[in-house]
Chains A and B, each alone.
Chain A
């Protein structure tokens, strides 16, 4: 076969596949009819071979590029990852996948919690011993060292001055941003995540000690607890995601560093995205319940309860359910081997 004949005979097939790829668009093969779909699967391998043949025959550059382009378009259509509709996907994610992911990454969660507790307790103890350390952590506006008696009402009053809904919106968005940053900074081998985690831990520890120094522990906690317990928990989860990302880069194990990073990032990003509903709940509580006139003890009970429900969800939901085909296949394989 001469190059000219090659070009002549294949022309029609290229045009056909080009038309099919254009019809399907870059997005989906759903817009094709059954026959067209069949044609696509039949034509693509032939055109993929044409790419190699065009190189062999040294046909002109423009044609080589064109055939290559058609083959890439068809390849992209045929070999894409399975995608599903977004709403069922989100439902399935929170129904099984997210709690399972959380349990799989429990070690990172533990690591984040330990870091946070160490930072918080250290600061608390230090500030209890040397009260002036508090001013390293407590914003001047919240200074309670004045002679006047401060009650939980006074703390809540600051919040009451602002309408509820903008408050809730601001707190939600701000906290989600912190979670995203804690995750993203994981790319610094986890150091950035540790910074965010410790900065928050020390601020909380300093706060708690400062208020305790003035005998105001109960007002503080009755103010912080309703939203704070869940909020801190969600920050810990996103920090765990950052640590997962960072350690996958720092300690790749048997994988190449790049492959390890990609695998780590995939898990970590889902872990951090799953904290969004937690922040929404916490933000709602902080905007509407924290400033309300409910007795302090009820607020504390509410905060602990909400956080407990979330933790129970993460620890127990989705157990024993096979979430993906791959996992169930692996499972049945091991069962067979066990027999």
Chain B
């Protein structure tokens, strides 16, 4: 569902941005246009007050004042109508109140903060995008790879989402490779682990990449402390890295000899074999 956009940096590392979807952009637009509507409505009410108010209409001076007020209001009307998106995107660095509430932001295609001229381009072209209740914008966003409306295409901008969703809540169950194979005797004799202990550690090891660092910090001592105590080894105090290395070495003894390593591990890690996944 989520679409990503890649920025290539001068460091040759690709950074990923999550593009804002049509839905959140439409919702943000709705909020912004409601705000514009409210402001214009307030202005119209004020204008009418100046015209109709009998106190204002009474004297010459008041009439002059009323005329100037109407002129000012006319200019304000124009500024809100054409300038709302422009000024907010300029001041709030690519955000408007609507975009802010949906945690989306306009950024440059090449990465980095949006510039004056691109803000001007994308918001002047809004008069074309808005045709058919943003139908033109919708079609353009549907057809372009990076969900850009016409204004974005001309300005060289994309709208990204800065909302960090909770992927862990619905993470892909296919990735949970649980070990339910029978444990071979040789491994158990080599490691002096019970089958339950072995399976527990192996399952942790298989799933470790899906856990947060904090969870791993918390889990490792809980898992390893009783086992290491039983094996008669000392429990390294408060060092998840060492614990995980030890766990890895226990598990991998089953697979036979530890794999070759390009760089020998630091002494604190004991004889931990190299981590998985480098060739993936």
Interface centre among A26, A170, A188 (most CB of B within 10 A): A26
Cβ A83 vs Cβ B155 within 8 A: no
The CA of A7 and the CA of B274, in the complex, are separated in Å by: 15
27 contacts between A and B (CB under 8 A): A2-B241, A3-B208, A4-B208, A4-B216, A11-B213, A27-B113, A48-B9, A48-B11, A48-B13, A56-B277, A56-B278, A60-B212, A69-B164, A75-B111, A76-B107, A76-B111, A76-B112, A79-B112, A83-B115, A163-B67, A169-B70, A177-B78, A184-B124, A187-B128, A265-B121, A269-B121, A273-B120
Q: Is residue B154 contacting chain A, with contact meaning CB distance below 8 A? A: yes
Q: Is residue A72 contacting chain B, with contact meaning CB distance below 8 A? A: yes
The CA of A165 and the CA of B64, in the complex, are separated in Å by: 9
Interface flags for B1-42 (1: CB within 8 Å of A; 0: not) read: 000000101110111110000000000000000000000000
Contacts of B71 in A (CB 8 A): 165-166, 168-169
Contacts of B187 in A (CB 8 A): none
Q: Is residue B48 contacting chain A, with contact meaning CB distance below 8 A? A: no
Cβ B124 vs Cβ A183 within 8 A: yes
Q: Is residue B88 contacting chain A, with contact meaning CB distance below 8 A? A: no
Size band of the interface chain B makes with A: 35 or more
The CA of A224 and the CA of B280, in the complex, are separated in Å by: 76
Interface centre among A62, A185, A245 (most CB of B within 10 A): A62
The CA of A1 and the CA of B241, in the complex, are separated in Å by: 10
**A61-B210, A75-B111 known; A173+B74 contact, CB < 8 A:** yes
Query: Which residue numbers of B lie inside 8 Å of A, CB to CB?
Result: 7, 9-11, 13-17, 63-64, 67-68, 70-72, 74-75, 77-78, 82, 93, 105, 107-108, 110-113, 115-118, 120-121, 124-128, 150, 153-156, 164, 167-168, 171, 208-213, 216, 239-241, 244-245, 248, 263, 265, 269, 272, 274-278, 280
Contacts of A272 in B (CB 8 A): 124
**Smallest CB-CB separation from A183: which chain B residue?**
B124
Given A26-B113, A173-B78, output 4 extra A-B contacts at Cβ < 8 Å: A2-B272, A262-B154, A269-B120, A269-B124
Write the nearest CB–CB distance from B266 to chain A, whole angstroms: 8
**Smallest CB-CB separation from B136: which chain A residue?**
A187
Cβ A1 vs Cβ B82 within 8 A: no
Cβ B155 vs Cβ A2 within 8 A: no
Contacts of B112 in A (CB 8 A): 75-76, 79-81
Write the nearest CB–CB distance from A317 to chain B, whole angstroms: 21
- Which of B105, B128, B210, B269 has a CB less than 8 Å from the CB of A5? B269
Interface flags for A162-191 (1: CB within 8 Å of B; 0: not) read: 011110111011001100110111011000
Contacts of B213 in A (CB 8 A): 7, 11, 59-60, 63
Q: Is residue A57 contacting chain B, with contact meaning CB distance below 8 A? A: yes
**A61-B210, A187-B154, A258-B153 known; A166+B121 contact, CB < 8 A:** no
- Which of B10, B63, B125, B263 has a CB less than 8 Å from the CB of A79? B10
A-side interface residues, number (CB < 8 Å): 65
- Which of A26, A52, A176, A184 has a CB less than 8 Å from the CB of B93? A26
Interface flags for A135-167 (1: CB within 8 Å of B; 0: not) read: 000000000000000000000000000011110
Cβ B113 vs Cβ A4 within 8 A: no
Q: Is residue A270 contacting chain B, with contact meaning CB distance below 8 A? A: yes
Q: How many A-B residue pairs have CB under 8 A?
A: 176
Cβ A51 vs Cβ B82 within 8 A: no
Interface centre among B64, B121, B156, B244 (most CB of A within 10 A): B121
Considering only residues 57-93 of chain A, those with a C-beta below 8 Å from chain B are 57-63, 65, 68-69, 71-72, 75-76, 79-81, 83, 89
Contacts of B209 in A (CB 8 A): 3, 58-60
The CA of A272 and the CA of B125, in the complex, are separated in Å by: 12
Interface centre among B125, B126, B155 (most CB of A within 10 A): B125
Cβ A71 vs Cβ B241 within 8 A: no
Write the nearest CB–CB distance from A266 to chain B, whole angstroms: 5
Contacts of A172 in B (CB 8 A): 75, 78
Contacts of A72 in B (CB 8 A): 7, 15, 17, 111
Cβ B13 vs Cβ A49 within 8 A: yes
Contacts of A51 in B (CB 8 A): 13-15
Contacts of B155 in A (CB 8 A): 262, 265
Cβ B210 vs Cβ A2 within 8 A: no
Considering only residues 1-56 of chain A, those with a C-beta below 8 Å from chain B are 1-5, 7-8, 11, 26-27, 45, 48-49, 51-52, 56
**A63-B213, A262-B154, A265-B154 known; A68+B277 contact, CB < 8 A:** no
The CA of A57 and the CA of B280, in the complex, are separated in Å by: 9
Contacts of B17 in A (CB 8 A): 72
Cβ B11 vs Cβ A45 within 8 A: yes
- Which of B15, B67, B77, B93 has a CB less than 8 Å from the CB of A75? B15
Cβ B280 vs Cβ A261 within 8 A: no
The CA of A102 and the CA of B134, in the complex, are separated in Å by: 32
**A65-B164, A75-B111, A76-B111 known; A2+B244 contact, CB < 8 A:** yes
Cβ B93 vs Cβ A27 within 8 A: yes
Write the nearest CB–CB distance from B71 to chain A, whole angstroms: 4
Cβ B67 vs Cβ A269 within 8 A: no
Cβ B241 vs Cβ A184 within 8 A: no
The CA of A52 and the CA of B213, in the complex, are separated in Å by: 18
Write the nearest CB–CB distance from B106 to chain A, whole angstroms: 12
